[in-house]
Chains A and B, each alone.
Chain A
Amino acid sequence: MSIEPRSPPPQFAFRLKRALGGRAGWGGFALQILFVAALAWIAYEIVENARANLAAQRITSGFGFLRNTAGFDVSQNLIPYSGSDTYTRVFFVGLLNTLLVSIIGIFFATVIGFMVALGRLSPNWLLSRISGGYVELIRNLPLLFQILFWYLAVLAALPKPQQSISMFGLVFLSNRGLVIPKPIADPGLDPFALAILVAIVASLLLQRYARRALFESGRMIAIWPYVVGLLIGLPLLTALIFGKPVTFEIPELKGFNFSGGSRLIPEFVALTLALSMYTAAFIAEIVRAGIQSVHKGQMEAGASLGLSRGTTLRLIVVPQALRVILPPLTNQYLNLTKNSSLAVAIGYPDLVSVFAGTTLSQTGQAIEIIAITMGVYLLISLVTSAIMSFYGWRISRSLAA
């Protein structure tokens, strides 16, 4: 029986020294402490001086203004809002408008971006040249210019509400935006919504069943007729039994504008169009790079298995490409969100426009408001990054499995 040489006892103090001070030891540690203390002192001095000087000039400071009445109106509010609400409410109205345009913009930018990338990689000469032309044209023009183009050149050229383009007397397009009938809930809505939910859950279960059948016994089951039947048939059936789920409020022209119905304001449309088309050009290049980073042999392997080009892309190439695509894609999502603050140029009431603009000017509390606004953009960006990281983690896990 051999005796293993005993490892020396862990030198706790030594490890701590290395961990805190790096190679420089305790000296490095002291230096770090000093550095942090100096930073803290500078920050403290800045805050204290600002506070003292604000007081000396008798500029109101603090966050009490958030409880004051705003006294101005906003053209698009997702939550009920009127001029007699507080600045806090204005903040949320602006924040929701920013989030709305960002989320919808990200959705369309991703869809257009993927389509353009696939088009650019397509063996079809015309399609690939058109996609290439799109990328080169859009990404080389300033974003603000594109926003103004959509707003002032395209949407402003639409006819006046009195001469609006009407579709079946239900949908109206004019320079005041797109007016559509507004759904109003009827008693039949609850069972209707429930039926849709049931149909979705059933479809997902069906898909799982078909997958298992494919992997375990190699049977291909075409589930789409059942899915269509479920998704359309079930809600239709409940509507027949419980009565129609919604009635539509038809917009009609009264005075200067349409009353009734829901409306997409042109500022929103112009901003969403410009943001998603601009970002899509960058996403297209990212996706193209990602797909091309996957070895050619993968595509050939798919082809030799008898899979079509589309199926090979969807099942084999894109999942591998996503690992490369995700980090720069996250950057583009963050850019789009931050670029949405250009809304102020065309009067879309986003956070920067109504809060860091109007509210700042009315209250004069620049430091507080800019700090809040910066904090909010930071938070939105961090949340977006976190979601994308989580998605990336899931993909690499499923690829590793």
Chain B
Amino acid sequence: MKRVSLVFTLALAAGLSSGAASAQTLKTVTDRGMLSCGVSAGLPGFSAPDDKGNWTGIDVDVCRAIAAVIFNDPTKVKFVPLSAKDRFTALQSGEIDVLSRNTTWTLSRDTSLGANFTGVTYYDGQGFLVKKSLKVNSALELNSASVCVQTGTTTEQNLADYFKSNNMKYEVIAFASADETVKAYESGRCDVFTSDVSQLYAERLKLASPADHVVLPEVISKEPLGPMVRHGDDQWFDLVKWTLFAMIDAEELGITQKNADDMAKSDKPELKRVFGTDGNLGEQLGVTKDWVSRIIKAVGNYGEAFDRNVGAGSKLQIARGLNQLWNKGGIQYAPPIR
């Protein structure tokens, strides 16, 4: 891990010291013919390679959607698996064009890291996973426990806050990668594994007997996860931001992977704007008019991507909850395409 971050740091120093930082990410990506996208090294539902080596997950789909907008080909993405603590350096150094790696949006990350969050892919919160045999029913019963956590995450800080504000003692063991963290939890080094709730469900599936472990009811933090881009390139920022917005708006408008072609022929002014048969919204973003239909044909709308990767159509079976659309009881809401 150390070597990886050292490489990124050197790349950062080199990249930062070689002339002006490239403000034209879109042009760079187009010239390269490939989008470079930072993802998690293996988190089922968010980004993980399947048995054929294809990357799948909701974070991965965001990258594929961006590639579809630029190249009309969702496969033109180079996925760069990153550990939690290396991810920001990789983005700063220009190693990746966009970071889509279940990253929590916080003020300090949005400012001092030299990067911007473009939206929220998944509204999450932090929880605790424990063995059923411990007979613990609440996180407030965890006094004196040993807790395994992945280093370089907001989780690590929330954990410190939570135990401190509840006057509980604990021992923290922080690992560089999610795999090492889970392994230590499984071997009994820790009583508790803490992370974002979605990640707890995903990691639980990888344990030897998932049924012996339970996620405690407490959710102790807000973890809005979203993609990140570098400061200083507003065009690229807009493109990444509106790719995700388009997926959410498409769900709201009822555009799906299947009916996209039919909907494109519709006379409704709203749909004509979205599909680019009227106006030049795509060109304003610096891409083609049919950008939305490229996204939908590649990865589907937000709801489809959610169901396929983490929701009812996946092994994780996570309910939509907060991630339901705003008009269906959730808080997913995208500004209008017009």
Contacts and interface: CB of A to CB of B under 8 A. Distances in A.
- A and B associate: yes
A311 interface: no
Nearest to B1: A344
Contacts of B172: 72-75
Interface stretch (A121-129, A225-233, A293-301, A349-357): A349-357
Interface string B133-161: 01000000011111010011100110111
A297 B13 CA distance: 58
A314 B303 CA distance: 78
Chain B interface extent, by class: 35 or more
Interface in A348-382: 349, 352-354, 356-358, 360-364, 366-367, 370
B54 interface: no
Q: Chain A binding site: helix, strand, loop or mixed by DSSP?
A: helix
A389 interface: no
Interface in B80-111: 84-89, 92, 108-109, 111
A53 B233 CA distance: 13
B89 A49 contact: no
Given A49-B17, A357-B176, A360-B89, A56 B232 contact: yes
B187 A83 contact: no
Given A256-B145, A345-B1, A358 B21 contact: no
Contact of B21 (A47, A53, A84, A176): A53
Interface string A43-79: 0011101100110111110000000000111110000
B335 interface: no
B16 A257 contact: no
A124 B8 CA distance: 53
A160 interface: yes
Nearest to A258: B144
A50 B171 contact: no
Nearest to A255: B144
Interface in A300-346: 341-342, 344-346
B13 A72 contact: no
Interface string B185-199: 001110100000000
Interface in B52-73: none
A56 B16 CA distance: 10
B174 A75 contact: yes
Contacts of A259: 144
Interface in A188-202: none
A341 B2 CA distance: 8
Interface in A74-99: 74-75, 82-84
B20 interface: yes
Contacts of A45: 17
A358 B1 CA distance: 12
Given A50-B13, A75-B172, A255-B145, A266 B189 contact: yes
B16 A58 contact: no
Given A74-B172, A255-B143, A361-B85, A49 B5 contact: no
Interface string A241-258: 000000000000011110
A146 B228 CA distance: 38
Nearest to A343: B2
Nearest to B87: A361
Contacts of A60: 111-114
B161 to A, nearest CB: 7
A46 B232 CA distance: 20
A239 interface: no
A304 to B, nearest CB: 54
B152 A362 contact: yes
A152 interface: yes
B152 A57 contact: no
B322 interface: no
Nearest to A369: B9
Contacts of B27: none
A267 B180 CA distance: 13
A23 B231 CA distance: 54
Contacts of B152: 357-358, 360-362
Given A71-B157, A366-B5, A366-B92, A256 B188 contact: no
Contacts of A358: 85, 151-152, 156, 174
Interface of A: 45-47, 49-50, 53-54, 56-60, 71-75, 82-84, 152, 156, 160, 175-176, 254-257, 259, 266-267, 341-342, 344-347, 349, 352-354, 356-358, 360-364, 366-367, 370
13 contacts: A45-B17, A59-B231, A60-B114, A73-B170, A156-B187, A254-B144, A342-B2, A344-B2, A347-B175, A356-B2, A358-B152, A361-B87, A367-B13
Given A49-B18, A58-B114, 17 more contacts: A49-B17, A71-B161, A73-B172, A83-B164, A160-B188, A175-B187, A176-B171, A255-B145, A344-B2, A347-B184, A349-B174, A361-B85, A364-B92, A364-B109, A366-B89, A367-B13, A367-B16
7 A-B pairs with the lowest CB-CB distances in the bound complex, closest first: A361-B152, A59-B114, A60-B112, A361-B85, A83-B160, A156-B187, A364-B113
